[in-house]
Structure 1
Amino acid sequence: MHTRTPEEHLTAVRELFRSANPESAQNPESAPPTPSVSIHRDKAVGLVLAEDLVATQPSPRFDNSQMDGYALNETQRQALPATFTLGPTLAAGTDPATLYPEGIHDRIVPIMTGAKVPEGCAAIIPVEKCEPGEFQDEGAEVQLPEAPAGQFIRHAGEDLAEGAELISRGTRLNAAAIALLASQGIEHIRVYRPARIAIITGGDEIGGPGPASIPDANGPMLDALARQHGVEVVARLHTSDDIDSLATIVKDTLAVSSPDAVITSGGISHGRFEVIRKLLEGTDDAWFGHVAQQPGGPQGLATFGGVPVICLPGNPVSTLVSFRTLVAPVLGVAEPSREAVLAQDVTGLPGRDQFLRAQRVDEGSEVRVAPIGGAGSHLIAQAVPADCLLRIPAGAALKAGDTALIYPLEEW
């Protein structure tokens, strides 16, 4: 069977999920292959926006003060330094027209941060720059220093003009985006529903009580990876090496949980107990073979009961690398790959691209990346400090200072 490149297999994964969700054919690649739903903005953090939004009003909405201080008109500003009499204090949230209906005239205006400036405001001088350096009562006299025109005035539309693009479709919403939506008075938005997955790990050697058994690390890891990348986990299953038992478990889970996809770990190679492969290799769209990468060479794809199944290798680092490079970009949201400068020489493997666990290294003013830990697919403890995967092309001999592709494991 043809050995796929990582890109060929990623395309096959994407096509499998797109074919099972034809309504998502127009979704941007930054969004999961799921329909859009309307939700309240306060529940939307981490989700992907399914519509283009425009500003319904400028931000800021009106000219306002950047400082606690004194607002004065242009004639007063040109007379600086000078002493002036204070008018009534203008607090944030107060319409200046109620206190200064004709704007700023003979008296200067004690104004608080965020307050809308009165008509004719030419500059604001911080209170601590004046004499005395604390606010005084109305009618008191205060000496002000020189100030340039426009000082400490936040102008309407300075951050965002009315009608400008607010947030574009395909954007993953963070806390700042939620604040922006609230500032515009937008309560309900359309987002792409998170993809729902069922996770299957196991085998008779996993999670048992015997001295030769192995704790199930891949189930919790896949659960964490899914949530990290905006994917909802609706079921986590453990299977034995019995095919009939596995088939029953999967059918029941599909009926109860209705996942968009099933993610399996292990059981797809050429051993005698490769229960996942034996169950699925005769089904529609099944493909089991090798991808030219290390770790994560054995891979599989199939559909079961009309639901896509992506089958990852079982060694923990292979599972980690495969989910990050093949599942997260399709079903969830992943930081895009990018080029980075190498901190040391690296030599690739013949015939396979290698995904090394790596970490940012500060070298003076430059940030570089360096491999950490061993390359073995079982060395999960050595993968903990990694903040990215470093891709070394097959047969490459790269030197420190060369660039290579990285796949962030967290926000960069």
Structure 2
Amino acid sequence: MSKKYSLHSRAGFLSTKTVLFLSLIFSVLFTQNTAVAQDDGIPTDEATISAGEKLFKANCTVCHAVNDKVIGPALRDVHKRRNLAWIQAFVKNSQKVIQSGDDYAVNLYNEYNKTEMTAFDFEDAEIASIVGYLKAESAKEIVVATEETTTTGGDEVASQEPSQFVNIVMIVLLVVLVLILAVLGMIITMLKKYLSQKDDLSEEDREIAEQTFDVGALVKSNAFLGLAAFVFTAIIMKSAIDGIFTIGVQQGYQPDQPIAFSHKIHAGDYKIDCNYCHTGVRKSKNANIPSPNICMNCHSSIKTESPEIQKIYAAIENNEPIEWVRIHNLPDLAYFNHSQHVKVGEIECQTCHGPIEEMDKVSQYAPLTMGWCINCHRETDVNTKGNDYYNKLVAKHAEHSKESMKVEDIGGLECSKCHY
């Protein structure tokens, strides 16, 4: 009996060990599955990550950077701090997550001076693509800018400005020409002096050798007077024609604005995407002037004591519009669609507005004349990549030309495109 009990006990002991071992295995597997679940749904394909990068730069860089604190926290390794479902809920409505009592959200809210994060109407897949981009960027090493890289960047910028080099070359050539004329003058003077001392010169040769330059006779000559009249008339006519062609052209127009807003600080120093403030540029004919509530996304807690920011507060409090002075203004007879150029054509803002990220005070960079637009349509390639709409057009164009398809090839020079 004791033997049976002993066997039974041993069997029970073995079964207990087996249960403990299996429990340990399941515990490890469950823990691993839980860890994997935190990354579940985060895309890794390049196309989705690229789409996430565009969304991040268009909407998030105002308040966030990958490696640096801006208005909000740095987002490096955010996928390790919070799971995807939490991030999606927070991006869609941060206040709802905070009010639910979530410790992490509440601490984050208090740490950043109770600044409310803007709620974004994104799909879960769009937020996942942004997190995928942040995850990919987090895997990269942080590159610290050095003096050497700064110098290299300066050289690259200098190489993009050939006009200064051309000016220097022209000045050098002009100086060389003046020196050549001076040397020739000295040689002529020395030859004439040498010939005048010769005793065996004929009267005709001596007359030529002793001939002097008479400025008065030259000025009074009919040829000189006719040339002077022609040059004077040509200059007057050229000035008149140039004046006629500049009627209605406001290139260089730089008015004072009611609030001293600096694009250099916002778009240049802080890298805020133009589309964040000019919200209609990708979906509308107009880029639209930002409303004060967009300014308040940042300035509800940043530089609140600034006299210029106080003007925004006053406009909101008094329910009055900010009377911005329009700079770029096309005539009513011309049609221009921002979304067609920016979203479909992927034209950069700087193409028409110039280096806006370097302007403390905005001015009209381009002439915005019909000739300027037409020339752009003649030189700009049509962005056909990934757009099946252009497949037949591209094939048809390839039958007749080896050049890339330009905007003019698809009707970009037709009058009705811009005048309706």
User: 1 or 2, which has the higher strand percentage?
Assistant: 1
TM-score for the superposition, normalised by structure 2 = 0.22
User: 1 or 2, which has the higher helix percentage?
Assistant: 2
- Larger relative contact order, structure 1 or 2 (CA cutoff 8 Å, min sep 6): 1
Flag the structure with larger Rg.
Answer: 2
TM-score for the superposition, normalised by structure 1 = 0.22
